[in-house]
Amino acid sequence: MRRRAPRRSSELRRRVRWGAVLGSALAAFVVASVSLAGMSSLASGGPQTIITKRIFPGPRAVAAQDVRDASNGSESNKSDAFSYADAVVTPTSTAIASGTNLYLDFTLNSGRPGGLSVSSPVFNFRLASGGGAQAGNACFWFQVRSGGSVIGTHGSYASAAGCSAGTAQTTISTAIAEVTSTDQVNGLVVRVYPWETGTKTKVVNVDLATVSGSTPYSAFTAYETQWVDDTSGTPATAPWFAAAVDGTTYTGASAWTGAATTTRYLKLTFDPGVPAGSVVTAVSLKNVWHASAAVTNGGTLCYYLETFNGATSLATHGSAAAPQACTASGTIFSTDTIPLAEVNDATKANNLVIKLYYWVSPTCGGGGNPTCVRSVTDQAEVTFNYYLD
Amino acid sequence: MATPFQGRGPALRMPTRTSMRLFTSGSTLPKLIASLAVLGAAAAIAGLGTYATFTSSTSASHTIATGTLSLTSGPTNRLGTGASLVAAGDSMQRAIDLNYAGSISFGSATLTTSASPSSALDTDATDGLHVAIDKCSVAWTESGPPYTYTCGGSTSSVLASSPVIGSNVALSNLTLTAGSTDHLRVTVTLPSTAGNSLQNLSSTIAYTFTGVQRAGTNQ
């Protein structure tokens, strides 16, 4: 019995201490409440609902991927080799066998509004064996890269993403579900590891490398703006000439004549993928160019342009009598930014075709006249400003 | 044979069985207690007598009544008017009158806002919606919709641009005097820095103005 007394005392002290703590807390709460209390009154406003546009206004620049050259009066296809399944193929620089880890990089354009979700994205790749004795099939696997990181891998040397049947070009469309937004599509890099299965290694001919899919508002196709061929083990970079001012140029097929005519032109076609219903606020063409050589005897290389909604003429900018621009330089690029106010809705934007009519003024060829020269183009890009309510 | 205590009183005896008589009727202890009680009562009465003096009393009463405090909005209140198709850099102006009534002046006012439904428009404190409030000394002149307001008097800033969601945000330059009205213009802005992640979103904002009484004074 004597041993229990200290325990009881200790327990009692503990209870007293807890009581003191709780009491103090209660007292503090009461004091604080009293201190903060006071009369108040409320007035309310709203609720106010604020909804943002589906696509914010902004510029989206798209290079001409389809280019036709009619400088000699007959149209020829000078389009980007990887943008269309058109039998315009590009062989790898080197014959390539399985397991080499040598690759082709395709960097895609950035013409779509950012921040949009993407559904059903696919990588479209069309290839075939270069053929020849003991040739086999062309096969590939690939990685999808965004922001410098690999976000998806499709196939392997052991399990190809797809193969051609010999030299017959075959398109393989592979779902790339890891691409979920236009932020990723813009500037996406697809690294393709191709190989040829023949007993004697061959090159691989590539016809198409695009990514297609849909946003909630429209379908799109992303075209390459640059490709890198590393099949030799030494990467070689080849930008698409129209995409940027980078010194990679396109020189016209033939010299222009001494008179403007609608049968001689450089034709540019664009695929901006502007969603239906968008409000197109401004469109402009950026043409960066010069003559292939200095124009002699006081002559100049000039052009004016005509815009089309498909095949329907929309407007002309300049004329044979009043050129849009001229230059005599064979080295210094002229940069012309030409507003195209007539392109004022999504339909016209998506069907936009521009013909540039070049000629040497006042004439060319012959004794004492300026030399007839070609045009050299470094960039041909249209910027579409639009939004979607 | 005589003991050393022989001839002395029994109380001086060593305790023996006979001491039990202290607790019996007619014993010594009750008498002792009764004596102490009498002495105590006498001392208490003597003490009271020592401190006593002449006294007189009267009574009075007073009534303490609290004042009233009332903050209301109107007649102008456009805050319920939303906006759609908002783009980065857009702003929305809405007017609201705050009326102070009651028998007590206000000492301060605050604004509390909340969003339901909510989105990044109201949770992104950097690029999301911001609110600013101006006061006009006279009623704002409204045009629109979309509403814009001009002030025919003098303007002052009530709230500098802040993220749209806030709790008990202090408001400045208000009149706060009972019987007066403050004419406010609430401007909600989506900053031009708002990126594509803020496209196609919706938030509904509720505004609560709270007026608090002036500080206590001697009455």
How far, in whole angstroms, is CA B66 from its chain's centroid? 15
E strand or H helix at B49: helix B28-51
In this structure, the answer to whether residues A230 and A86 fall within a common structural domain is yes
Residue A202: CATH number of its domain: 2.60.120
Between A287 and B47, residue with greater pLDDT: A287
Chain A CB contacts of B196 under 8 Å are 56, 113-116, 183
Q: Cα separation of A56 and A60, whole Å?
A: 11
Residue A34's alpha-carbon distances to A31, A37, A180, B218, in angstroms, are 5, 5, 56, 18
From A117, which residue of chain B is nearest by alpha-carbon distance?
A: B197
Do A81 and A89 meet the contact criterion of CB atoms below 8 Å apart?
A: yes
Inspect the interface and report whether the beta carbons of A50 and B197 lie closer than 8 Å: no
* Interface residue of B199, B205, B217 to substitute, partner A, most A CBs within 10 Å: B199
ipTM of the complex: 0.73
Inspect the interface and report whether the beta carbons of A50 and B86 lie closer than 8 Å: yes
Looking at residue A28, its pLDDT comes to 42
Q: Give the pair of three-digit tokens for residue A151.
A: 């976000």
Q: Cα separation of A28 and A75, whole Å?
A: 90
Instruction: Tell whether A35 is covered by a domain.
Output: no
Last residue of one domain, picked from the residues A239, A271, A302: A239
In this structure, the answer to whether residues A216 and A362 fall within a common structural domain is no
Q: Is the pLDDT of residue B21 over 70?
A: no
Instruction: Tell whether A108 is covered by a domain.
Output: yes
Helix then strand count (H, E) for chain A reads: 3, 25
DSSP annotation of A370 reads P
Give me the residue from A42, A44, A52 closest to B198, CB to CB: A52
Q: Cα separation of A135 and A117, whole Å?
A: 42
Instruction: Tell whether B63 is covered by a domain.
Output: no
Do A100 and A195 meet the contact criterion of CB atoms below 8 Å apart?
A: yes
Last residue of one domain, picked from the residues A239, A269, A302: A239
Tell me the three state secondary structure of residue A360.
strand
φ/ψ of residue A160, rounded to 5:
-65, 150
Do A382 and A62 meet the contact criterion of CB atoms below 8 Å apart?
A: yes
pLDDT tens digits for B120-154?
999 999 999 999 999 999 999 999 999 999 999 99
In this structure, the answer to whether residues A262 and A376 fall within a common structural domain is yes
Average pLDDT over chain B, rounded to an integer: 82
Q: Is the pLDDT of residue B56 over 80?
A: no
E strand or H helix at A152: strand A149-154
Number of domains in chain A: 2
Specify the pTM.
0.78
Instruction: Tell whether B175 is covered by a domain.
Output: yes
> Among A261, A259, A347, which residue's Cα sits nearest to residue A306?
A261
Q: Is the pLDDT of residue B52 over 60?
A: no
In this structure, the answer to whether residues A327 and A254 fall within a common structural domain is yes
Instruction: Tell whether A6 is covered by a domain.
Output: no
Q: Cα separation of A198 and A98, whole Å?
A: 10
Chain B CB contacts of A40 under 8 Å are 69, 210-213
φ/ψ of residue B152, rounded to 5:
-85, -5
| b/e map A248-277, b = 16+ CB within 10 Å | bbbebeebbbbebeeebbbbbbbbbbbbee
Looking at residue A17, its pLDDT comes to 60
Domain that holds residue A224: 81-239
Looking at residue A37, its pLDDT comes to 60
Which DSSP string do the residues of A37-48 spell out, in sequence order? ---EEEEEEEEE
Looking at residue A366, its pLDDT comes to 86
pLDDT tens digits for A263-312?
999 999 999 999 999 999 999 999 999 999 999 999 999 999 999 999 99
Q: Give the pair of three-digit tokens for residue A248.
A: 């990679």
Do B78 and B206 meet the contact criterion of CB atoms below 8 Å apart?
A: no
Q: Is A51 on the interface with B (CB under 8 A)?
A: yes
In this structure, the answer to whether residues A164 and A259 fall within a common structural domain is no
Q: Cα separation of A241 and B3, whole Å?
A: 142
How far, in whole angstroms, is CA B3 from its chain's centroid? 85
Farthest-apart Cα atoms in chain B, separation: 132
Number of domains in chain B: 1
pLDDT tens digits for A45-92?
989 999 999 999 999 999 999 999 999 999 999 999 999 998 899 999
Domain that holds residue B78: 71-213
Inspect the interface and report whether the beta carbons of B129 and A50 lie closer than 8 Å: yes
Q: Cα separation of B1 and B6, whole Å?
A: 10
Tell me the three state secondary structure of residue A191.
strand
Last residue of one domain, picked from the residues A218, A239, A260: A239
Q: Cα separation of A159 and B150, whole Å?
A: 71
Q: Cα separation of A151 and A187, whole Å?
A: 13
Do A141 and A159 meet the contact criterion of CB atoms below 8 Å apart?
A: yes
Looking at residue A9, its pLDDT comes to 56
